[in-house]
Amino acid sequence: MLRLRSSVHHSRADEFGSLLRDLDGVLRIVQQADENAAHEAYVFAADVEPAAADRLVDAIAEFGVGADDYVLTRIEVVAPQYHHRSESGVDGYAWVEVIGAARANSRPLARYLALINVAAVIAALGVITSSSILIVGAMAVSPDLLPICATCVGLVARRYGLARRAFATLALGLGLVVATAAVLSLLLKWTGLLPDGFAVEHSSLNNLAHTDYSTVLIALAAGVAAMLSFETKASAAVGVAISVTTIPASAYLGVAIGGGGIDNALGALVVLLINVSLLIVSGSLTLLVQRWLPTRSGAPI
């Protein structure tokens, strides 16, 4: 469930109240005087079903209410929960929420860059020591799911500037994984901590550089899971599964560049390119299908 709060000049209050009452999915409308306003105004509050959020935002914009004069927030429904179920789960989701989340995650923020570098160090050590546990740890830390999903949203919404920005953030992140893993491997080699004659193909994780039918199927399935988790705020949990298709291959390539064995590791680059492409394809198709399917109320998502 969403909550609307808006401030409207007193001369247009009745008209705005009628607008809200005429919109399906806008419920429990409350109007009261705004005593803190410099001019005479009324504050409106209303509960909004997620499927109605996009229609509401469009209607408010057409009415002429500025972006600074209203806020639409999500609230948790404790009970009765069964009244607010949709095909997207309890409360559903609004397209305006997905666009907002994509914008927020399309830029290379400092936290994103820090986490991707931490993941790179852990994954590189996992490849060097043949430790599957470290690889899983790196996948848990990596935030690469977010720009992947933001790219899908940009493509489906035909906001190509958003898609390009998000993809550039993803490419920057994965490039940093390769570079960090290469630098770490090179430093370990110079200090003698990496055994003489080390080559990345000696790692028991050398299957990261090989492509087969499972590579394709895993990437396609991961793209579906990525998009669904992005919409339902479950990305922290599902991100581990998504990163299995990106972080290990990137780190493997970086270790090969810095530690040795590059001739046998170019397959990791192929794996990475295939996985990223299929993640974006399946994530975009998942979002397209959801936009085509009606909710139980009959309103498009």
Q: At 73, is the secondary structure helix, strand, or coil?
A: strand
Nearest residue to 297 (alpha-carbon basis) of 88, 96, 17, 74? 88
Lookup: tokens for 245: 């298709």
Give the pLDDT score at 300: 44
CB 291 within 8 A of CB 300: yes
Q: How confident is the model at residue 235 (pLDDT cuts 50, 70, 90)?
A: low
CATH class of 2-92: alpha beta
Tens digit of each residue's pLDDT (9 = 90 or more) over 83-105 = 554 444 444 556 777 887 888 88
Distance CA 234, CA 225 (A): 10
Q: Which amino acid is at 256?
A: A
How far apart (Å, rounded) are the C-alpha atoms in residues 281 and 301?
20
Give the 3-state secondary structure of residue 27: strand
The closest of 59, 54, 102, 58 to 297, measured between CA atoms, is 54
- Residues 265-269 have a mean pLDDT of 82
- CA dihedral defined by 278, 122, 140, 269, rounded to 10 degrees? 0
CA–CA distance from 185 to each of 215, 253, 271, 297 (Å)? 26, 11, 21, 56
> Where residue 78 falls among pLDDT bands split at 50, 70, 90?
low
Largest CA distance in the chain: 81
Better-predicted residue by pLDDT, 209 or 18 = 18
- pLDDT, the chain, mean: 83
* Lateral strand order in the sheet of 26-33: 26-33, 41-48, 2-9, 70-74
Q: Is pLDDT of 81 > 60?
A: no
pLDDT at residue 202 above 80? no
Q: Report how far residue 91's alpha carbon sits from residue 148's, in angstroms, rounded to the nearest whole number.
A: 24
Burial of 94 (0-12, 13-18, 19+ CB in 10 A): buried
> Given pLDDT bands bounded at 50, 70 and 90, which one contains residue 52?
confident
**Choice among 40-44, 91-95, 153-157 with the minimum mean pLDDT:** 91-95
| pLDDT of amino acid 241 | 61
